[in-house]
Amino acid sequence: MNRRPASGRAAAADHQARADRTRTFPPLPVRTGARGLFAESWWGSAWLDALESAALDSARLARGRTYARDGHVDTINITPGRIVATVRGSRPRPYSAEIRLTTLTVQEWDALLDAIAADPGQLTALLAKQLPSALAEGEVRLLPGPGELVPRCSCPDSGRPCKHAAALCFQVARLLDTDPFVLLLMRGRGERELLDELSRRNAALTARETRAHTLATTAPTTGGQRPEGTARADAGDLPAAVAPGAVPEEPAAPRTPTPPGVPARTALADRPRPPLPPVLPVPPQPGHPPALPDGDDLPFDPATLEFLAADAAARAHACVSAAGAPAPGGGQQTLPSPFPDLPPWQDAVRLAATAHPTAGLTATTRALYRDLAAATGRTPTDVARSVAAWRQGGPEGLALLDTTWNPPAGDFDRARSALLAADLPALRPRHNHLTDPDRGIQLRFGHDNRWYPYESEPGAEDWWPTGPADPDPVGALTTLLAR
């Protein structure tokens, strides 16, 4: 029997629940000042007590504390039962540190939520980012005990914990100081999920208490006496559907008329709105993404992901820089993007050309060209030639590598006279090329009115882009002959 697909509302709720069960925290700032207690709250100190009570080497803890204080721990991701972060050590590539913690069972969550719902003060404290000791140390223990924190790390150190995992634990204590819901997430539930469930339990508890109070105030008193002013109903006065001796159903409460609503736009129309903050200045250079740790079972190459992140940052920086100041009247100027959409092959060449813009054919670039050739159905030589053309002139340089065109009369025709006047070799024209096959030199005229120098082994017709493009044919050829 096929399962019915989940409705759109159920799918959205499931997506929201899964999103609520993961939180990512940016790197915490370097901790300055006195070197006293690392955690500021009692529950943060209790977290560190669980770490220190199971540590086998206090020296590793001290180094981990220093790493955390000096800001060696990068972005922290917390999901139920798992805390992960990259920690920078003495090597160029950081290590991947991880802390495991047992999550609560369904029965334990029910008991914990019932305890919070029964004591509104505990929920008030949680919303104020405080952790009541009665809740943390109650029947369901929230804080970890000795041995409950299980550290792991990709470094070669076999210590439990190593300094990288210890540094992560110290930084988590700082997160717990500011938000105890982080601890509840480690135990298995997200903040929004918990608050929604507590709202339902509070509503159910209130309904039960209200019903019990209603029954208590309307029930007959001892000895069969009824409250004053209450008429005794005979069996004949009961509705036909109610048998004598049975308790009649409570009459439905009268409906309260719902007041007419007001559209939110109308309600907020007269409220003063503060001005938007000024636009932040564009940084002089794009930022660099953090280095990723090496791993054996990763589904991607860390170096490739780092490069793509750096390229995205550089392109975003260029786009923001090109946007310039707002247009007169407060609008935004519409400027062409410095990075137009490119076909996959051209964008792959662009990425390869900018990966190592000044490097020759090193082992790294050879491997990059082989991978790109295999992915695009070309040869590594084709890739290397295309990368050289992109470095020479970007999209126009790459277009001139494989295509020719017939320029109109003008600059192209005058170029031959300029070369002869400069006592440079006579070049034979063909399409947009000026060539001397015996010397293995060539100039290609682009649509951007620049001259692109090429060279080849004499008689081989194996042309390679060589040197920068130049708007002056004499300058382009002089540079080519000087090589």
Asked, as a colleague might, if the bond just before 407 is cis with ω within 30 of 0, I would say no
What pLDDT was estimated at residue 237? 47
Q: What's the pLDDT tens digit per position in 334-358?
A: 666 667 788 888 988 988 887 766 6
Q: Does residue 98 carry a pLDDT above 60?
A: yes
Give the pLDDT band (50/70/90) at residue 230: very low
Largest interatomic CA distance in the chain: 130
Report the distance separating Cα 61 and Cα 163, nearest Å: 6
Q: Look at residue 224 and tell me whether its pLDDT is greater than 80.
A: no
Lowest model confidence (mean pLDDT) among 196-200, 246-250, 331-335 = 246-250
Answer with the residue of higher pLDDT: 251 or 108.
108
Give the pLDDT of residue 286: 83
Round to whole Å and give the CA distance between 369 and 372. 5
Which pLDDT score is estimated for 383?
92
What contacts 457, CB < 8 A, 6 or more positions away?
440
User: What are the beta bridge partners of residue 96?
Assistant: 86
The pLDDT of residue 236 is 45
pLDDT in tens, 242-298: 455 555 555 555 666 666 777 777 777 777 778 888 888 888 888 877 777 766 666
Give the model's pLDDT for residue 80: 94
Average pLDDT over residues 431-438: 92
Of residues 410 and 395, the one with the higher pLDDT is 395
Q: Examine the pLDDT at 7 and tell me if it is beyond 70.
A: no
| d(C-alpha 287, C-alpha 290), whole Å | 10
Q: In the structure, what pLDDT confidence band is assigned to residue 210 with cuts at 50, 70 and 90?
A: confident
Closest CA to 463 of 412, 377, 406, 404: 404
- Say whether pLDDT at 447 is over 90: yes
Alpha helical stretches, state H, 21-131 = 42-54, 58-69, 106-118, 120-127
- The secondary structure element, H or E, covering residue 400 is helix 380-402
Share of the chain above pLDDT 90, in %: 33
What amino acid occupies position 197?
E
The percent of residues above 70 in pLDDT, for the chain, comes to: 81
pLDDT per residue as tens digits for the range 41-70: 999 999 999 888 878 778 888 899 999 999
Q: What is the pLDDT of residues 376-388, one digit of tens each?
A: 889 999 999 999 9
More confident position, 432 or 246 = 432
Q: How far is it, in rounded angstroms, from Cα 64 to Cα 70?
A: 10
| Res. 165 pLDDT band, cuts 50 70 90 | very high
The closest of 359, 364, 433 to 391, measured between CA atoms, is: 359
* C-alpha closest to that of 368 among 97, 332, 356, 450: 356
Residue with the bigger pLDDT between 218 and 374: it is 374
Across the chain, what does the average pLDDT equal?
82
pLDDT tens-digit series, residues 449-458:
999 999 998 8
The predicted-structure confidence for 353-376, as pLDDT tens digits, reads as follows: 877 666 566 777 888 888 889 888
